[in-house]
Amino acid sequence: MGWTVRPFGDADFPAVWALERIRDPEGYSSAVTVRQAAALWPATFLVGDEDGQVVGFTIGAASSDPDTGWVLRLKVREDRRRQGYATSLLRAVLERLRDEGVRTVRLTVAPENRPARALYAGFGFLEEAVLPEYFGPGEDRLVLALRL
């Protein structure tokens, strides 16, 4: 069967929630994120499926400015990293956002997350801003932007 990128389905919730809650041990806010993203952005909530198992996901969203969108999440299981899954997921969500009329895509990334930054740079994302403590103390972020 192999690897494919497809829309999130309700049966994917447990696997996606498990990936999402890695940084949320209590699990509630990550469960809310997954459920609400499925309702709000069904066309741009995608999972990476490997032989029937979810090994990663991405969530994209158009903003109130119809020309601008965001990649809100991009996660791949640790045992599947550096194998091209994130590249496939990112390519797919960018295509879907472009299909929705988005012309500029933004995302945030931790400055020390060199593998993610390299992935985004490979797609042409450029640093737009530095946001100290964006998600609280010690949670600085870079805003990267890509013109589609």
Q: Please state the domain extents for the chain.
A: 3-147
- Token digits of residue 63: 């903003």
pTM of the entire predicted model: 0.90
Mean pLDDT across the stretch 1-14?
90
The pLDDT, as a whole number, for residue 66 is 85
pLDDT at 8 over 70: yes
Mean pLDDT across the stretch 7-21?
91
| Confidence grade of residue 59 (pLDDT, cut at 50, 70, 90) | very high
∠ CA 16-22-25, rounded to 5°: 110
Give phi and psi for 99, each to the nearest 5.
-60, -25
Among 35-44, 55-64, 115-124, 130-139, the minimum mean pLDDT is found in: 130-139
CATH of domain 3-147: 3.40.630.30
CA–CA gap between residue 103 and residue 45 (Å, rounded): 18
